[in-house]
Amino acid sequence: MTSSIPCVNSSLLPHDHDHRLHNAIKALTLLHHTPCERPLNAASRLWRLPNVLPSPSLSPTALTPPSPASICQSVVATALAAGYRHIDSATAYRNERACALAIAASPLPRSSIFFTTKLPPKLRGYRRTAAFIDGVLHKNPELEGYIDLYLIHAPYGSSADRLGQWRAMVEAQKAGKIRSLGVSNYGVHHLEELKKWQSDQEDGGVLSVGQWELHPWLPRKDIVDWCRREGVAVQAYSPLVRATRQQDPLLMPLVEKYKKTPAQVLLRWSLQMGFVPLPKSVHEERIRENADIFDFELTEEEVRALDTGRYEPCCWDPTKEKI
């Protein structure tokens, strides 16, 4: 990595977390939305409060047993009470309903909460996608008729399947059912496939967000560079590497220097890389701890040193899926 890494300067991180912080993060994570009741910028909602973005699930993949709905609902309630405003859900996590109930039970207005969910990895094509989006909204009236961000969870299936999914999502966005569109786990070849299709359409929609497993041992330079060129916001799932690197020699000097936990150092690195990190926890103290990363800053040298350039995923990796 070079010195062009988009870092958030400490001068933009006052203890009172004023509008300068909001504007700094907004500049890094600007998302494109269709017009709605009032001008909507998702980034301002994602980062309105001084925290990183929680995922209320226990797993980023459909391959791990989902958390019981009762646990998920209480975790979301705890996170919202702690100041979090983005809930990263998915049909595959089996927690959409629990998240919607937690949103409804919160004293916060729906408009202040940014809700993400994802198309199931095994669902294929245009018609099934269109029907499925309607089903999510029908089953979860607490969402008040719209999803803030909808992602294709994985690039499985044929090119026609993927492009059909995207076309259905674009139409749902035009109908006001979705505010922003994105993909998850796409490789550069999948991203290029979508870009080419969009260029051939009168209105092929806007790719606003991409979500990948990202951390120092999986920085995905090719994908991140592509997103930066195309103006796509990058979300990082498993930024804590599923707690498998807590004692890593790369982290220990920084933990000692800044008097922070390994998780906080990893989240700070993710932020300074320009990512939107999505930490996960069921413990209230860790939920609050994960948000306490705005009172220190890694140097550019430290950010570069943590970018190992390795390929060591801790989850699945559909980016390798062939077209």
Buried-exposed string 98-126: b where 16+ CB fall within 10 A, e elsewhere: bbbbbbeebeeebeebbbbbbbbbebbbb
Alpha helices in the chain (DSSP H): 19-29, 42-46, 69-81, 96-105, 126-139, 159-174, 188-199, 221-230, 252-258, 262-272, 284-291, 300-306
Beta bridge partners, 114, equal 86
Phi/psi region, residue 185 (left: phi>0; alpha: psi -120 to 50; beta: rest), is left
Q: How far apart are CA 151 and CA 114, in angstroms?
A: 14
241, exposed or middle or buried, with CB in 10 Å at 0-12, 13-18, 19+?
buried
Closest CA to 275 of 322, 300, 230, 239: 239
Would you call 156 a catalytic residue per the annotation? no
The catalytically annotated residue of 84, 93, 146, 186 is 93
Closest CA to 31 of 235, 192, 232: 232
Q: Which residues are catalytic?
A: 93
